[in-house]
């Protein structure tokens, strides 16, 4: 089994043809590896282990773009991307995903790890997951699903959502990546301050 590594830039084509986009992406990834890759013979020689844990393809400082009708939807970056034989999903380390609205950056997701499906463009992120919008809203959690078809993020774990001085916590959530539509599902608690309090100290609900 050959192990390849290198740097990668992947651009997902315009969504006017979904079939072409899905078929081309794995080929682009493999092409990046073949052009920039080299066999990791030193690692195999040092350990003497050619195991299933060793990825077939490995890229560093990768960037994946997605657009619709020429307008950016998101950009996914990772410090390291690893793919294994016969798997549609790529393992990501050091995840940074920018979401765009009307081709303008609106929110950013970061996490320690991630798993990206190269056919559906869905992402599962975990480990210190944070989503921050340009206007200051913030979501903190331990894992998060991004569904590319619906354009929504969701999970079934604990979440902390802040907007200014307002804080909401709860188990399970569904939201847009911009956090302008946000629903907590269970064990919801909230501390909300009036914007124009009469006593000058704010009111806590």
Rounded to two decimals, the pTM is: 0.72
The answer to whether residues 126 and 142 touch, using CB atoms and an 8 Å cutoff, is yes
Closest of 175, 185, 179, 177 to residue 162, by C-alpha: 179
> For the chain, which domains are there?
4-147 (2.60.450)
- Tokens representing 205 are 């609900």
- Tokens representing 139 are 């979501």
Element (H, E) at 47: helix 41-47
Residues 6+ apart with CB under 8 A from 30: 57
Report the alpha-carbon distance of residue 31 to residue 35 in Å, rounded.
6
Helix (H, G, I), strand (E, B) or coil at 82: strand
Q: Distance of alpha carbon 12 from its chain centroid, rounded?
A: 15
State pLDDT tens for residues 7-55: 555 555 454 444 334 434 444 444 444 434 444 444 444 344 444 578 8
State pLDDT tens for residues 107-155: 999 999 999 999 999 999 999 999 999 999 999 999 999 999 999 999 9
């Amino acid at each position: 089994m050959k192990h390849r590594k290198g740097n990668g830039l992947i651009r997902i084509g315009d969504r006017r043809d979904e079939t072409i986009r899905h078929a081309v992406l794995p080929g682009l990834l493999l092409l990046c590896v073949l052009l920039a890759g080299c066999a990791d013979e030193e690692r195999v020689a040092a350990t003497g282990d050619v195991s299933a844990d060793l990825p077939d393809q490995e890229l560093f400082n990768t960037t994946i773009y997605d657009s619709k009708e020429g307008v950016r939807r998101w950009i996914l970056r990772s410090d390291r991307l690893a793919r294994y034989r016969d798997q549609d999903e790529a393992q990501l380390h050091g995840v940074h995903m920018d979401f765009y609205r009307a081709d303008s950056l609106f929110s950013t997701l970061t996490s320690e790890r991630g798993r990206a499906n190269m056919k559906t463009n869905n992402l599962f992120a975990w480990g210190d997951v944070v989503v921050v919008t340009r206007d200051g809203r913030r979501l903190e959690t331990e894992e998060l699903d991004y569904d590319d078809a619906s354009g929504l993020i969701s999970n079934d774990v604990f979440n902390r959502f802040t907007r200014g001085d307002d804080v909401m916590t709860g188990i399970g959530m569904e939201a847009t990546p911009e956090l302008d539509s946000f629903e907590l599902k269970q064990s919801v608690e909230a501390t909300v301050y009036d914007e124009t309090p009469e006593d000058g100290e704010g009111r806590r609900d």
